[in-house]
């Protein structure tokens, strides 16, 4: 079985007192104040989406505030994989670099932005900062991206490609993402740490279906289909959705709000992804 | 253990058959950059697929995926690897050309609309080794019994933002990609797409070869510079998962981007794993002929690997004077017609230090 052994939600703009299935998350720092959480080092030229993801991972791992990146002389951890989901993460840089080039100023493009034109920069930045040298995947899969990331992480664990998988869902709200997607966009990151062991909170297999199927569970989280839609409180979570749902579901079973939570992700264009988070009875 | 049932590719040199035939003849697909003003991005050439208008990434992908839907008997999962996604419409919008919807970025909706039997669709954006990562996921799905057949695909077309970044850091404009050559000046992007059908052992249709394994690793070292340690780990992961020794490998299709950094680091990793006694595997590379097809590159290289199982191996286009790190490594300098190739290793590395190394083995007839 696959257990959720760490989790976090990092949403700087969340209205104080917002309750997500009964859970009121602790406040989150803005990307520009991230050094309070992440320390001063390793944040140069990082995009907001990358910083949000780093904050979420830092908190899910329960690291001390202000503790910096892995030192270069420490060995890497090749048994930990990173799977990040984001559809819009680096679009602001892509557009900014394109505009500079078309304005005849290619020589003024910052070489520090080079990694940011490749959309997998978020996943590799997590790997570099924390020394996670196992498989590293960036999922940009539209509406179902977050749940697809969870499915990929579970496969990596089952295939023996890693012992632990760090799964992140993140979307940034900025001028570009508001224009190309929606001005009601989520702005934050969520992280779950998955391990193949007998834990208290178990995440079931991610299944797929062309039509939505709601199963037996105390609570259903879903965008539409009659379930509780977290996007109403958080904005359009888009590529972060599946991971945000997994965090809120785990929090609900951990606090006793529900014994099991079913998550339904996706839509008619892409089909649906479903998984259940449940509390494992004490043996 | 999985089998490779079919692979379909599209490069600037045509389909897989045409690309290989022209590679054997020493063809180079580089031409003056089309569609994006060379002076704006400071890149003068590309390995582009021509057309009026030039095909989009989605169009190239659908061409390669169409044959994969045949005999799919319901739903066949697809994992698409891409470096840049369908980002050109967003770039055009950014400079005031047309409207845009972020839903175009991944390929899921278009694939499902045009080829409904290929479903569910997952798009991963793993830089220049994206389709190697897609291949690993596809094989894991088949090996675990999750699906009897899975399509791994890859696609990219040149994008202005990536060209601008290449142009920004270039000293001189590169005319062609010259893997492992002393006088190499850097990489050029190519348009490309590919799709591979990965099936379980009990497949009864035609088979290209045995897909032993794809090893994965991340350098966790630097955002853009490669690391020998990370690459070595991916190679050893492939050998371990595939149950083969380094000495069993007859030929490597190298990543070979012709950049200052990649080439010596890749050869260093090959030297570490295979030795430098001129007794290791042959080393070939395709990017001199078809450019760097980014997200499609691993599968474009896999198609080349599959075709070398017949004994034909093209020379590395653009290689004249090998770099010092090639000492003791058997770079393919002229086309071979009767090489003994039973086991091929395909290298694919990407920005962010994401590495995928695949082993493909000939099935004795």
Which site among A87, A131, A142, A146 would you substitute to test the B interface, given the most B Cβ atoms closer than 10 Å to its Cβ? A142
Per-residue model confidence as pLDDT tens digits over B35-47: 999 999 999 999 9
CATH code of residue B182: 3.40.47.10
Residue of A nearest to B131 (CA): A137
> Which residue in the set B84, B94, B223 is minimally distant from A125, CB to CB?
B223
Q: What is the pLDDT of residue A216?
A: 77
Per-residue model confidence as pLDDT tens digits over B186-210: 999 999 999 999 999 999 999 999 9
> Which residue in the set A134, A135, A180 is minimally distant from B90, CB to CB?
A180
CATH code of residue A237: 3.40.47.10
Please tell me if residue A245 touches chain B, with a CB cutoff of 8 Å.
Answer: no
Q: Compute the distance between CA of residue A248 and CA of residue A20 in angstroms, rounded to an integer.
A: 7
Rounded to 10 deg, the angle between the B228-242 and B262-274 helix axes is: 40
Number of other CB atoms surrounding residue B105 within 10 Å? 27
Please tell me if residue A233 touches chain B, with a CB cutoff of 8 Å.
Answer: no
Q: Residue B122: pLDDT band by 50, 70, 90 thresholds?
A: very high
Q: Compute the distance between CA of residue A162 and CA of residue A151 in angstroms, rounded to an integer.
A: 14
Residue of A nearest to B101 (CA): A180
Residue of A nearest to B237 (CA): A161
Rounded to 10 deg, the angle between the B160-169 and A91-102 helix axes is: 70
Q: Which pTM value belongs to this model? A: 0.98
Please tell me if residue B170 touches chain A, with a CB cutoff of 8 Å.
Answer: no
Q: What is the pLDDT of residue A282?
A: 66
Q: Which of A142, A87, A82, A155 is closest to A265 using CA atoms?
A: A142
Rounded to 10 deg, the angle between the A145-158 and B130-143 helix axes is: 60
Range of the structural domain that residue A247 is part of: 2-279
Range of the structural domain that residue B128 is part of: 2-361
Per-residue model confidence as pLDDT tens digits over B309-358: 999 999 999 999 999 999 999 999 999 999 999 999 999 999 999 999 99
Rounded mean pLDDT of B5-22?
A: 98
> How many angstroms away from the CA of A256 is the closest CA of chain B?
33
Q: What is the pLDDT of residue B74?
A: 82
Q: What is the pLDDT of residue A215?
A: 77
Q: Which residues of chain A, if any, have pLDDT below 50?
A: none
Per-residue model confidence as pLDDT tens digits over B42-68: 999 999 999 888 999 999 999 999 999
Q: Classify the complex by whether its ipTM is higher than 0.90, answering yes or no.
A: yes
Q: Compute the distance between CA of residue B293 and CA of residue B47 in angstroms, rounded to an integer.
A: 8
Tokens read off for A131: 């020394």
At which residue do the structure tokens 């006793």 appear? A256
Please tell me if residue A176 touches chain B, with a CB cutoff of 8 Å.
Answer: yes
> What is the number of domains present in chain B?
1
> What is the number of domains present in chain A?
1
With CB atoms and an 8 Å threshold, state whether A114 touches B169: yes
Contacts with B, A 130-149, CB within 8 Å: 130-142, 144-145, 148
Rounded mean pLDDT of B70-85?
A: 93
Q: What is the pLDDT of residue A283?
A: 58
């Amino acid at each position: 079985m696959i257990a959720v052994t760490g989790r976090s939600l990092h949403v700087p703009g969340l209205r104080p007192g917002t309750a997500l299935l009964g859970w009121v998350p602790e406040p989150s720092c803005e990307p520009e104040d991230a050094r309070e959480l992440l320390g001063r080092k390793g944040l140069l030229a990082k995009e907001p989406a990358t910083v949000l993801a780093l904050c979420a991972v830092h908190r899910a791992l329960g690291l001390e505030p202000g503790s910096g990146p892995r030192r270069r002389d420490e060995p890497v951890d090749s048994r930990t994989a990173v799977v990040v989901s984001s559809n819009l993460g680096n679009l602001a840089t892509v557009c900014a670099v394109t505009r500079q080039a078309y304005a005849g100023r290619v020589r003024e493009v910052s070489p520090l932005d080079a990694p940011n034109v490749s959309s997998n920069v978020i996943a590799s930045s997590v790997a570099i900062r924390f020394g996670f040298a196992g498989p590293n995947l960036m999922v940009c899969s539209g509406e179902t991206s977050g749940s697809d990331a969870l499915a990929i992480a579970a496969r990596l664990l089952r295939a023996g490609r890693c012992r632990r998988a760090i799964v992140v869902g993140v979307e940034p709200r900025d001028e570009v993402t508001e224009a190309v997607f929606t001005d009601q966009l989520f702005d934050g990151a969520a992280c779950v740490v998955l391990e193949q062991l007998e834990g208290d909170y178990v995440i079931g297999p991610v299944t797929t279906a062309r039509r939505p199927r709601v199963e037996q569970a105390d609570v259903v989280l879903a965008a539409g289909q009659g379930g509780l839609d977290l996007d109403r409180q958080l904005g359009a979570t888009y590529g972060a959705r599946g991971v945000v749902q997994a965090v809120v579901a785990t929090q609900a079973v951990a606090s006793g709000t529900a014994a099991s939570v079913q998550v339904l992700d996706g839509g008619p264009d892409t089909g649906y992804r479903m998984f259940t988070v449940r509390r494992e009875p004490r043996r | 253990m999985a089998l490779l049932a079919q692979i379909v590719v599209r490069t600037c040199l045509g389909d897989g058959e045409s690309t290989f035939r022209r590679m054997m003849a020493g063809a180079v697909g580089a031409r003056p950059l089309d569609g994006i003003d060379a002076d704006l991005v400071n890149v003068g050439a590309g390995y582009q697929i021509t057309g009026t208008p030039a095909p989009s990434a989605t169009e190239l992908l659908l061409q390669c995926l169409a044959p994969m839907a045949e005999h799919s008997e319901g739903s066949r999962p697809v994992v698409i690897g891409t470096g840049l996604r369908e980002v050109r419409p967003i770039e055009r919008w950014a400079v005031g050309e047309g409207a845009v919807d972020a839903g175009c970025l991944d390929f899921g909706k278009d694939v499902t609309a045009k080829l409904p039997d290929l479903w569910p669709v997952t798009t991963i954006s793993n830089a220049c080794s994206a389709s190697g990562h897609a291949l690993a996921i596809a094989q894991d799905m088949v090996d675990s019994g999750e699906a009897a057949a899975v399509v791994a695909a890859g696609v990219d077309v040149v994008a202005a933002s990536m060209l601008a970044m290449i142009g920004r850091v270039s000293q001189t404009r590169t005319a062609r990609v010259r893997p492992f050559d002393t006088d190499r000046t850097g990489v050029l992007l190519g348009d490309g797409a590919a799709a591979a059908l990965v099936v379980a052992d009990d497949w009864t249709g035609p088979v290209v070869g045995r897909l032993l394994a794809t090893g994965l690793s991340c350098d966790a070292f630097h955002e853009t510079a490669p690391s020998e340690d990370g690459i070595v780990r991916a190679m050893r992961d492939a050998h371990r998962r595939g149950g083969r020794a380094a000495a069993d490998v007859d030929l490597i299709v190298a990543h070979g981007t012709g950049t200052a950094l990649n080439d010596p680091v890749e050869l260093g990793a090959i030297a570490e794993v295979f030795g430098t006694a001129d007794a290791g595997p042959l080393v070939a590379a395709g990017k001199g002929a078809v450019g760097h097809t980014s997200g499609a590159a691993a599968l474009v290289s896999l198609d080349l690997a599959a075709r070398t199982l017949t004994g034909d191996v093209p020379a590395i286009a653009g290689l004249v004077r090998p770099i010092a790190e090639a000492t003791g490594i058997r770079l393919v300098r002229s086309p071979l017609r009767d090489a003994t190739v039973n086991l091929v290793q395909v290298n694919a590395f990407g920005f962010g230090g994401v590495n995928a190394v695949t082993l493909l083995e000939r099935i004795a007839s």
